[in-house]
Amino acid sequence: MGEWMTVTDPDLSSESKNICQYTSETKMSPSSLYSQQVLCSSIPLSKNVHSFFSAFCTEENIEQSISYLDQELTTFGFPSLYEESKGKDTKRELNIVAVLNCMNELLVLQRKNLLAQENVETQNLKLGSDMDHLQNCYAKLKEQLETSRREMIGLQERDRQLQCKNRNLHQLLKNEKDEVQKLQNIIASRATQYNHDMKRKEREYNKLKERLHQLVMNKKDKKIAMEVLNYVGRADGKRGSWRTGKTEASFFLRNEDEMYKILLNDYEYRQKQILMENAELKKVLQQMKKEMISLLSPQKQKPRERADDSTGTVLSDAEEDAGELSRESLWDLSCETVREQLTNSIRKQWRILKSHVEKLDNQVSKVHLEGFNDEDVISRQDHEQETEKLELEIQQCKEMIKTQQQLLQQQLATACDDDTTSLLRDCYLLEEKERLKEEWSLFKEQKKNFEKERRSFTDAAIRLGLERKAFEEERASWLKQQFLNMTTFDHQNSENMKLFSAFSGSSDRDSLTVHSRPRQKKPHGVSNGSPVCTSKLTKSLPASPSTSDFCQTRSCASEHSSINVLNITPEEPKPNPVGREGTNQKWSMASRPGSQEGCYSGCSSTYRNSHVEKDDLP
Evaluate whether 445 touches 580 at the Cβ level (below 8 Å).
no
Selected from 233, 371, 579, 618, the binder of other proteins by CB under 8 A is: 233
Minimum distance between the CB of residue 240 and other proteins, rounded to whole angstroms?
3
Selected from 232, 330, 369, 413, the binder of other proteins by CB under 8 A is: 232
Q: Which of 373, 385, 394 is nearest to 588 (CA)?
A: 385
Q: How would you write 94-108 as a 3-class SS string?
A: ECHHHHHHHHHHHHH
Is residue 213 at the binding interface for other proteins, with CB under 8 A as the rule?
yes
Q: Which of 473, 562, 567, 461 is nearest to 515 (CA)?
A: 473
* Closest CB to other proteins among residues 150, 203: 203
Is residue 212 at the binding interface for other proteins, with CB under 8 A as the rule?
yes
Task: Show the DSSP H helices in 31-95 as ranges.
Answer: 33-56, 62-75
Number of residues that this document lists for the chain: 618
* Closest CB to other proteins among residues 206, 494: 206
**Contact letters for other proteins, residues 147-186 (x by CB under 8 A):** ----------------------------------------
Q: How far is it, in rounded angstroms, from Cα 512 to Cα 526?
A: 10
Selected from 60, 89, 227, 490, the binder of other proteins by CB under 8 A is: 227
* Closest CB to other proteins among residues 239, 368: 239
Selected from 242, 245, 372, 559, the binder of other proteins by CB under 8 A is: 242
Interface region with other proteins, contact rule CB under 8 A, candidates 198-206, 359-367, 380-388, 598-606:
198-206
Angle at 131 between CA 127 and CA 132, to 5 degrees: 120
Is residue 369 at the binding interface for other proteins, with CB under 8 A as the rule?
no
Three-state DSSP at 25 gives coil
Which residues, 6+ apart, have CB-to-CB distance to 568 below 8 Å? Answer: 379, 380, 381, 545, 546, 549
Is residue 261 at the binding interface for other proteins, with CB under 8 A as the rule?
no
Is residue 237 at the binding interface for other proteins, with CB under 8 A as the rule?
no
Selected from 63, 118, 130, 266, the binder of other proteins by CB under 8 A is: 266
Is residue 194 at the binding interface for other proteins, with CB under 8 A as the rule?
no
Is residue 249 at the binding interface for other proteins, with CB under 8 A as the rule?
no
Residues in a beta bridge with 447: none
* Closest CB to other proteins among residues 242, 372: 242
Selected from 7, 228, 369, 578, the binder of other proteins by CB under 8 A is: 228
Q: Which of 509, 499, 479 is nearest to 307 (CA)?
A: 509
Minimum distance between the CB of residue 248 and other proteins, rounded to whole angstroms?
8
* Closest CB to other proteins among residues 15, 266: 266
Q: How far is it, in rounded angstroms, from Cα 253 to Cα 310?
A: 76
Selected from 12, 108, 216, 357, the binder of other proteins by CB under 8 A is: 216
* Closest CB to other proteins among residues 49, 253: 253
Is residue 259 at the binding interface for other proteins, with CB under 8 A as the rule?
yes
Centroid of chain to Cα 148: 53
* Closest CB to other proteins among residues 216, 325: 216
Containing 230, the helix (H) or strand (E) segment is none
Minimum distance between the CB of residue 260 and other proteins, rounded to whole angstroms?
7
Minimum distance between the CB of residue 253 and other proteins, rounded to whole angstroms?
11
Minimum distance between the CB of residue 278 and other proteins, rounded to whole angstroms?
13
Evaluate whether 5 touches 122 at the Cβ level (below 8 Å).
yes
Is residue 246 at the binding interface for other proteins, with CB under 8 A as the rule?
no
Minimum distance between the CB of residue 213 and other proteins, rounded to whole angstroms?
5
Is residue 263 at the binding interface for other proteins, with CB under 8 A as the rule?
yes
Is residue 257 at the binding interface for other proteins, with CB under 8 A as the rule?
no
Is residue 431 at the binding interface for other proteins, with CB under 8 A as the rule?
no
Tell me the CA end-to-end span of the chain in Å, nearest whole number. 100
Containing 416, the helix (H) or strand (E) segment is none
Selected from 93, 151, 178, 248, the binder of other proteins by CB under 8 A is: 248
Q: How far is it, in rounded angstroms, from Cα 345 to Cα 299?
A: 18
Q: How far is it, in rounded angstroms, from Cα 374 to Cα 559?
A: 12
Interface region with other proteins, contact rule CB under 8 A, candidates 9-17, 154-162, 260-268, 548-556:
260-268
Q: Which of 532, 515, 511, 514 is nearest to 605 (CA)?
A: 532
Evaluate whether 600 touches 608 at the Cβ level (below 8 Å).
yes
Is residue 190 at the binding interface for other proteins, with CB under 8 A as the rule?
no
Minimum distance between the CB of residue 257 and other proteins, rounded to whole angstroms?
11
Q: How far is it, in rounded angstroms, from Cα 90 to Cα 92?
A: 6
* Angular region, 235: left φ>0, alpha ψ -120 to 50, beta rest: alpha
Residues in a beta bridge with 94: 82
Crossing angle, helix 490-506 and helix 248-308, to 10 degrees? 40
Is residue 224 at the binding interface for other proteins, with CB under 8 A as the rule?
yes
Three-state DSSP at 59 gives coil
Is residue 225 at the binding interface for other proteins, with CB under 8 A as the rule?
yes
* Closest CB to other proteins among residues 111, 199: 199
Is residue 34 at the binding interface for other proteins, with CB under 8 A as the rule?
no
Evaluate whether 26 touches 104 at the Cβ level (below 8 Å).
no
Q: How many residues bind other proteins (CB under 8 A)?
A: 42
Interface region with other proteins, contact rule CB under 8 A, candidates 120-128, 129-137, 213-221, 348-356:
213-221
Query: Where on the chain is the footprint of other proteins (CB under 8 A)?
Result: 198-199, 202-203, 209, 212-213, 216-217, 219, 221-236, 239-243, 248, 251-252, 255-256, 258-260, 262-263, 266
